Amino acid sequence: MKSHYQILVIGGGTGGIMTAANLLSKNKSLDIGIIEPADWHYYQPAWTLVGAGTYDFDKTKRPMSSVMPNGAEWIKDYATIFKPEENTVETKENGAITYDFLIVSPGLVMDTSLIEGLTESLGKGVVCSNYTDPKHTWDVIKNFKVGNAVFTQPTTPIKCGGAPQKIAYLAADYFKKNGLKNKTNVVFATPGSVIFGVKEIRESLMQVISRYGIHFKPFYAPIKIDGENQIVTFKGVGTGENKCVINEDNELREIMSGESIIEMPFDMLHLAPPQTAPKFVKESPLVNEAGWLDVDKHTLQHNKYANIFGLGDVAALPTAKTGAAIRKQVPVVTDNILQLIAHSKKGNKSYNGYSSCPLVTGYGKMILAEFDYDNNFIPDPKLKQMLVFNSEKEHWRLWMLKKYGLPYLYWNKMMKGKEV
């Protein structure tokens, strides 16, 4: 194993693989090493559909060796310590590896310790998560018979911020189709103030919530899970008029204590676990105060170390953490590094915060939210031309895009480094 690379990539996920492949497509002579310990590469966007029983889990994974770009060297190891002053990354098995340029894209990790009782409860009984085991989610949904089906998310940033509500809509549709609508209270509880930050999408989603009769609970932050007694505890994070309110009929059987603590019984609980940067990143000199990789939001260059770039879920970017965001980040990182190698100065490309969230709203229905740093709705012109309708409205063609089009695009274009 070599101890020095011209370009060293941390992470064999979407960001790391696509950037390395894209760089090599522009210049085959580049010397690139990719540090990644995992045996499998997963297409996680399909896990929403796995959790609803409409996608095969095994089709979401491929051997890591099959996605490694030709021309890059796979270092099957764990990165453990960054030493940016010395252009060095320490690894678990292979010791120190040095670099001219470093690309940091290891994704994020689930930290169940941030919600009391979650570590003990998650994956057991009726407490499930598409983020960790979507097959278990499907078991819970199809075995559900009556009561409160609660869907929630944490106060931390999470990958694909729309995922916790997508599975709520799919479950509500499943219950409706199977005659359980009148026996079920579907609850979507979020620490956020609105269902979605983009106005056009928010208006469409409120219609979806109304159609299913979902109990929408903004300003609800989950703080404790009691899996044995099936109670989830929330803390109200609103102020003034935005405090948590128990409705007069209280069909959810909520119990309030003090000004802002609410206990809610559940017969099914799905949640996104709290998520953070990996420990070796969080404890490095590369992060901001919040513990995320400190990069410029337009150039994706590290704010302190000019030969380090970061992208994907680990980056401190004020936009949604999605594969679609990475798709637009990769050309910026690639251009900057190639220009620095050739001319010792960054390129002119700039990332505008583009991200997109395919919001599945039922079986055969989807809305496509595309937006930038300012929460402007920015539909892709090519897609609009192809679909010939507004993607902020539900449509079956968008469902087909989610189930068939996007996985094809991912494996055959993005993983090959093609800009799409």
Asked whether the beta carbons of 5 and 97 are under 8 A apart, the reply is yes
List, as own/partner pairs, every contact residues 52-59 make where C-beta atoms lie below 8 angstroms and the sequence separation is at least 24, other chains included: 52/137, 52/138, 52/141, 52/167, 52/170, 52/171, 52/174, 52/360, 52/363, 53/138, 53/141, 53/142, 53/174, 54/363, 54/403, 55/403, 57/134, 57/135, 59/407
Task: Name the token pair of 333.
Answer: 């990182």
What does the pLDDT average to over 342-359? 95
- Quick: pLDDT tens for 23-56: 999 999 999 999 999 999 999 999 999 999 999 9
CA 81 to chain centre: 25
Asked whether the beta carbons of 39 and 87 are under 8 A apart, the reply is no
* pLDDT at residue number 250: 86
Which of 139-143, 313-317, 329-333, 376-380 has the weakest average pLDDT? 376-380
Residue range(s) in the chain whose domain bears CATH number 3.50.50.60: 4-108+277-352+404-416, 111-274
- How far apart (Å, rounded) are the C-alpha atoms in residues 152 and 404? 27
Nearest to 416 by CA among 62, 100, 98, 59: 62
- Quick: pLDDT tens for 207-235: 999 999 999 999 999 999 999 999 999 99
160 counts as catalytic: yes
Q: How far apart are the first and last CA of the chain?
A: 33
* pLDDT at residue number 242: 60
Pick the CATH number of 111-274 from 3.50.50.60, 3.40.50.800, 3.40.50.1370, 3.30.1360.30: 3.50.50.60
Average pLDDT of the chain?
95
Largest CA distance in the chain: 69
Query: Taking the CA atoms of the chain, what radius of gyration do you get in angstroms?
Result: 22
What is the share, in percent, of the chain residues with pLDDT greater than 90? 91
- Quick: pLDDT tens for 175-185: 999 999 999 99
Catalytic residue among 160, 201, 316, 406: 160
244 counts as catalytic: no
Q: Name the CATH superfamily housing domain 4-108+277-352+404-416.
A: FAD/NAD(P)-binding domain (3.50.50.60)
* pLDDT at residue number 259: 82
- Quick: pLDDT tens for 49-81: 999 999 999 999 999 999 999 999 999 999 999
Nearest to 1 by CA among 80, 73, 63: 73
Phi-psi label, residue 280: left if phi above 0, alpha if psi -120 to 50, beta otherwise: alpha
Q: Which neighbouring-strand residues pair with 185?
A: 148
Nearest to 314 by CA among 285, 291, 289: 291
- How far apart (Å, rounded) are the C-alpha atoms in residues 105 and 16? 6
* pLDDT at residue number 388: 56
Task: Name the token pair of 279.
Answer: 């420990």
- How far apart (Å, rounded) are the C-alpha atoms in residues 82 and 155? 28
What does the pLDDT average to over 274-288? 98
pLDDT at 258 over 90: no
Q: Which neighbouring-strand residues pair with 63?
A: 40
* pLDDT at residue number 338: 98
Confidence of residue 331 (pLDDT cuts 50, 70, 90): very high
| Residue 257 CB neighbours (<10 A) | 9
Residue with tokens 């120190």: 96
Confidence of residue 21 (pLDDT cuts 50, 70, 90): very high
pLDDT at 387 over 70: no
Confidence of residue 15 (pLDDT cuts 50, 70, 90): very high
What does the pLDDT average to over 278-288? 98
- How far apart (Å, rounded) are the C-alpha atoms in residues 68 and 252? 49
CA 40 to chain centre: 18
Element (H, E) at 152: strand 147-152
| 3-class SS of residue 237 | coil
CA 133 to chain centre: 15
Asked whether the beta carbons of 52 and 254 are under 8 A apart, the reply is no
What does the pLDDT average to over 226-254? 83
In sequence order, the 6+-apart residues with CB closer than 8 A to the CB of 230 are 125, 126, 265, 266, 267, 269
Element (H, E) at 26: helix 14-26
What does the pLDDT average to over 262-266? 97
Asked whether the beta carbons of 357 and 402 are under 8 A apart, the reply is no
Give the pTM: 0.96
- The string of DSSP codes covering 68-133 is SPTTEEEE-S-EEEEEGGGTEEEETTTEEEEEEEEEE----EE-GGGSBTHHHHTTSTTEE-TTT-
- Quick: pLDDT tens for 90-125: 999 999 999 999 999 999 999 999 999 999 999 999
